[in-house]
Amino acid sequence: MGVTTIVANDSLRVPLSAPVTPRSVSPVPPQTDSVRIGLYRSYDATMDEGWTRWVFDRWKVPYTSLVDSVVRAGKLHDQFDVIILPDQSPNEILAGLPPRYPAPYAGGLGTDGSEELRQFVVDGGTLIALNEASRFAIQALLLPVRNVLEAVSDEDFYAPGSIFRLELDTANAIAHGMPRETIGWFQGGPAFEVLDSTVTRVVGRWPEDPARVLLSGWVLHPDRIAGKAAILVVQQGAGRVILFGMRPQYRGQSIASYPLLFNSLRKK
């Protein structure tokens, strides 16, 4: 196969990077007793939904699991102030499990559920979409936002799971108590371009300099997302949609970015 084999009789002398001093972070769970939180739980189960439940249980954040039939039934703002869509592809959210599964497990939100989520926001609710679920929210609610990584191949951009530098607008309530520069776990997420700044606010973005995007791990062609938005708030009707191009609660480990999710749960 044209491969040359070399015997290593000693350990490889590979230089190590300088030590990194971890930041001290103590997330403050939100006072959500008066906030009615719905956590979407697709029957096409996702790991991210389970980890979100674990984080909420661990930090004593009250919530109600929200399945497809409840969303499709509508009148969501009568029941919830905040609805969270964990990381899940748009197709899985829309289509759910195939028809061979019995009711109520087959199917996803469908067009009816998508419309009810839009109405929930228009009526004054807060919809939080994490990572790939943001792609669904952009499409289903016709938000004035473009995902610059939509249909981009792995050859043109790839980050299999890396820690990026994240620059925050600390004047925004979602970034309350956070430093101006923090970290974000990026894995298969979108990166946002604002199309209407009159209704959209950038809370966090990746650094303008492509060389500063990556903090740990690896990334191919970081210039694709350099300077692009990572967290947005989009006003729609009386409510808002909060888009995360990352997973702030990744596997219950990304404590540094917990406050961004917790702050999003607070009433406007």
User: Which stretch of DSSP H or E encloses residue 194?
Assistant: strand 192-194
Half-sphere exposure at residue 165, Cβ-oriented, CA atoms within 13 angstroms: 15
Comparing 2-16, 62-76, 83-97, 179-193, the range with the smallest average pLDDT is 2-16
The answer to whether residues 29 and 59 touch, using CB atoms and an 8 Å cutoff, is yes
pLDDT band at 16 (very low <50, low <70, confident <90, very high): low
The answer to whether residues 189 and 158 touch, using CB atoms and an 8 Å cutoff, is no
CA neighbor of 63 nearest in space, from 49, 73, 75, 74 = 49
User: Is the predicted pLDDT of residue 112 greater than 90, yes or no?
Assistant: yes
Q: Find the mean pLDDT for residues 35-47.
A: 94
- Give the CATH number of the domain where residue 105 resides: 3.40.50.880
Residue 66 pLDDT: 94
User: Is the predicted pLDDT of residue 103 greater than 90, yes or no?
Assistant: no
Q: Find the mean pLDDT for residues 126-155.
A: 96
Residue 113, domain extent? 37-149+189-205+228-264
Residue 252 pLDDT: 85
User: Is the predicted pLDDT of residue 3 greater than 90, yes or no?
Assistant: no
Does residue 25 lie within any of the structural domains? no
Does residue 86 lie within any of the structural domains? yes
Does residue 252 lie within any of the structural domains? yes
**For residues 79 and 99, what is the distance between their CA atoms, to the nearest angstrom?**
29
Residue of 203 and 19 predicted with greater confidence: 203
User: Is the predicted pLDDT of residue 119 greater than 80, yes or no?
Assistant: yes
pTM over 0.75: yes
To the nearest whole percent, how much of the chain has pLDDT over 90?
A: 81
Comparing 7-11, 109-113, 182-186, the range with the smallest average pLDDT is 7-11
User: Is the predicted pLDDT of residue 22 greater than 60, yes or no?
Assistant: no
Q: Find the mean pLDDT for residues 155-170.
A: 94
Hey, what's the torsion of the CAs at 107, 128, 236, 201, to 10 degrees?
Answer: -140
Does residue 211 lie within any of the structural domains? no
User: Is the predicted pLDDT of residue 118 greater than 90, yes or no?
Assistant: yes
Tokens of 109: 């939100």
Residue 20 pLDDT: 59
Residues 175-210 have pLDDT tens digits of: 999 999 999 999 989 999 999 999 999 999 999 999
User: Is the predicted pLDDT of residue 159 greater than 60, yes or no?
Assistant: yes
Mean pLDDT estimate for the chain? 91
Residue 35 pLDDT: 93
Residues in the chain: 268
Does residue 178 lie within any of the structural domains? no
Phi, psi dihedral angles at 44 (to 5 degrees): -85, 75
Residues 45-78 have pLDDT tens digits of: 899 999 999 999 999 999 999 999 999 999 999 9
Hey, what's the torsion of the CAs at 208, 210, 211, 215, to 10 degrees?
Answer: 90
Does residue 56 lie within any of the structural domains? yes
Residue 52 pLDDT: 96
Residue 45 pLDDT: 86
Residue 34 pLDDT: 86
Does residue 61 lie within any of the structural domains? yes
Q: Find the mean pLDDT for residues 134-151.
A: 96
Residue 42 pLDDT: 94
Does residue 176 lie within any of the structural domains? no
Residue 134 pLDDT: 98
Split into its structural domains, the chain has a count of 1
